[in-house]
Structure formats: structure tokens, C-alpha cells
Amino acid sequence: MTTVIDRAHFTDPTPRAIAAELARLITAGDLAAGERLPTVREVAGRLGVSPATVSAAWKALSQAGLIVSRGRAGSFVREERQEWMSPRVQGLAQHPGSPRLDLSGGTPDADLLPDLARAFSRVSPRAHTGRYHESPVLPELETLLRRVWPSDAEAITVVDGALDGVGRALEQVVRFGDRVVVENPGFPYFFDLIEHLGAQPIPVELDAEGIAPSSFARALATRPTAVLLQPRAHNPTGVSTSPERAAELARLVRASRNGARVVIIEDDHSGLVAAAPEVTLARWLPEQVVHVRSFSKSHGPDLRIAALGGPSRIVDRVVARRLLGPGWTSRTIQAVLFDLLSDPVSIEAVVRARESYRTRQRELAGALRRQGVSAVAGDGLNVSWDVSDERAALLHLAAAGIGVAAGSPFFLSDRTARPLIRVTVGLVSGDVDAVAASLARAVRVTG
């Protein structure tokens, strides 16, 4: 029987405080994954509160994904995620069980994606067996990509999504023990990729225009092999790098002791739905920049397609390595993407999506400011806010039926973390003021 649930730990008798304290016990491991909890009536007796109070706390914990009810068998601490998910990704994947409004996933609004059925119906007659050693990129798609690429890339190929491109590029330039500069907060998968390669992540801070120059200069002094950054719609903050800041970062790379050997890998994951102008350090460092552009947010996550461009010495190695694995990205899917990027109806759908996301960012930021929260509209789908207490904020929003992502997985380590929540603002299309009111309360709430 669980003995840590007693009055010594639970001094505040409110449902929110009980839920917050139990969440801390679960996080600390005092309540193990899979452990059966005492009954509501038993807990009420231990704490000297009503069963209704404990039931309300249990409901908030269930909505936050920390406990699960198994009917007559009782309530249990939720089991750990599958072994194939790293701890950071497990933390990113955790979200409230069944929120009425799930803003935790970072996914695009399905209603704003172009119609794939039209594209598939047009390209299906062109699907053919082909040859294993044909060019991995459809010639017409490569021509189109070169026309819209933000720099004059020496080589361009197609990969299976942005993360595939980033990972492939990292594998070609990073060796065990190398240092890789990465944004902090940043994308949890990046931290895991760097550590998987046996490299050392070097965190850099951000401000309203991108990576902070002073922090970047300190990181470059460690003589890194690579820099991994998100030039637009940074996840989780929603910040986009200004052209002036990009020029300053390029200048710092050139001036650094190891600057000529540093490879910059840019993940433009939001691509055509980012509102900020295209930006790439390849404008100043063309021989050192690999730029990855995803079409998941703009055209559909399940297409799993992105383009990668940069110097041939890196791109050609990526192509060669893929030939020893998947070989190439499905040419049928490439034909679908070419159709989507060429069709006026699909192009207009993406333009509408970009404007809708920008409007939603601005409307929610404005509503939060009316609630007394200092908020700036982000770019793309996501934005993050500092909160007084991360766990309490998640529980408060879960009780209100809103799911958001915990900020902890977006930090390289507990030492560098601060209380944060990430919100997929791109999915807020309903009562903006009501959502803002709940978010404002969550920002301020404490455990």
C-alpha cells in the first residue's frame, strides 16, 4: 500500500494542490510507474478531505496523463512509454488523455492542408517501376526546388522529412567526441540525435531575433564541428531569425578560430507556412551550410518529404548513404509534391494556411495581453511561454480540457531548464478569449 500519500505531504486540502503534490511524487519516482493507488475514499480518509475533493484531483491527474483508471481494478500511475522512445521524446509525446482542445502536438490544422486526393489522382497514371540507379530526385521537382531555394545550392536532394535530412547531414560531418552547437530551448529530437552520435551538445541562448550573438560567440570558442539551428518558426519559441541576425551569426563563424571548418545545418521545418522571410546563412557561407526544408507543416505530415540543399561534398555523401538504405524517397510521393507545388489551387491553399496561422498567433497574443500576460506572436504553428510552475500549469490546463506540451523536454538538461509550456497556437480557431483566459491563469498558477 502506498504510504507517501499522507497529511505530511499534502498540507493544502484543495483538489489542485493535491493533484500537484501527487504529480511531484510521480515525477520524483516516489510513486512508481504501474503502481496501484489507494481508493478515492481511502485517500480522502488519510487526508481528512471529502471524496469529491480527491475525485477532482484524480480527474485532473488523469487528464494530464499521469494516472490511468482501470475501472474496478482501480487507478494506477501511468506506465512508462515504449523503450523505443528516448526519455526526451517520451516527455514530448506525453499529453493529456482526452482534452477537448489538444494544443500539445505541434501538428498542422488538417483543415488548412491542401487536398491530396486531387494530386494523387493526377500523378497515379505516371507511377512506374523505374530503375534502381536512376537519379534519386525527379528532374522536374529538382528544377522547381532550385527556382525557390533561398540560396544557390550546389546540390539538392530529397529526403524522408526534415528530421531524416538533419540526421543524415549530422552523420556525415560529426564524429564521436565532436561538439555541436544547438539552440536551448530547442527540439528534443536534436538533442537525442547529437548524443546518439556520441557528440557533445553545446547550448546557445535565443532572443527575439534568433540565436543570441554573445552566446553564439562563446559556443564557437569551443571549436565545434557543426551548428544546428532553426532559422524560422523556432520550436518551441516561435522565434524567426532576422536577416540582420543571420548576417551577424555568419560574421561570427568567419571570425572564429575554427570557423572555416564549421558546418551549419538549418532546419526550416515550417517551410511555406512560416510568415517570416526566408533566411539562410548560406547567403554568406555557401560552402558551409546545409539547408533542410520540410513540406510536412504545409502539405501534410504523412507525406514524409523534405528537400536538402548545400555543398556537393556533403549532399553527395548523404545521397550515397541513402542508397545503402532506403535508396530514394518514393518518386510517386515526389510527383505528388511536384503537383502540389505547381497547382494554383494547392498553392493558394498553402497561402491561406500561412495567413491563418499568422492571424491565430496575433489574435491569441493580443488576447493574452488583455489578460495581463506579456505575449508576442510567434511564427508558424507554435509558441512558448514561461510559467510560474510547469507542472501546476499543465494540471490547470488539463482540468480546463486543454492539452499543451511540457517545456522540460525542450531543454538540454535540468540545469539549463526553466518552467515553460509550448502551445500549438495554429490549432486555436475557436473562442480565442476563452483559451487565452485559461492560458493566462496557467501562466500564473503555482503548485
pTM given for the model = 0.84
Per-residue pLDDT band for 85 (boundaries 50, 70, 90) equals confident
More confident residue, 305 or 48: 305
pLDDT at position 26 is 83
Per-residue pLDDT band for 12 (boundaries 50, 70, 90) equals confident
- The per-residue pLDDT for range 420-433, each reduced to its tens digit, is 999 999 999 989 99
- The per-residue pLDDT for range 140-162, each reduced to its tens digit, is 999 999 999 999 999 999 999 99
CA 233, CA 277: separation in Å to the nearest integer?
A: 11
- The per-residue pLDDT for range 248-274, each reduced to its tens digit, is 999 999 999 999 999 999 999 999 999
Cell of 240: 524567426
96 has a pLDDT exceeding 70: no
Number of H helices, E strands in the chain: 16, 16
Alpha carbon 285 to chain centroid, angstroms: 27
- The per-residue pLDDT for range 100-137, each reduced to its tens digit, is 899 999 999 999 999 999 898 888 665 566 677 788 99
Q: Over the chain, what is the mean pLDDT?
A: 91
CA 110, CA 14: separation in Å to the nearest integer?
A: 39
CB 402 within 8 A of CB 422: no
Per-residue pLDDT band for 1 (boundaries 50, 70, 90) equals very low
CA 143, CA 137: separation in Å to the nearest integer?
A: 10
CB 94 within 8 A of CB 325: no
**All domains of the chain, ordered by start, with CATH?**
15-77 (1.10.10.10), 87-112+347-444 (3.90.1150.10), 116-343 (3.40.640.10)
CA 363, CA 344: separation in Å to the nearest integer?
A: 28
Percent of the chain with pLDDT over 90: 71
- The per-residue pLDDT for range 195-244, each reduced to its tens digit, is 989 999 999 999 999 999 999 999 999 999 999 999 999 999 999 999 99
CA 313, CA 263: separation in Å to the nearest integer?
A: 11
Q: What is the DSSP letter of 84?
A: T
367: helix, coil or strand?
Answer: helix
- The per-residue pLDDT for range 373-423, each reduced to its tens digit, is 999 999 999 999 999 999 899 989 988 999 999 999 999 988 888 999 999
81 has a pLDDT exceeding 80: no
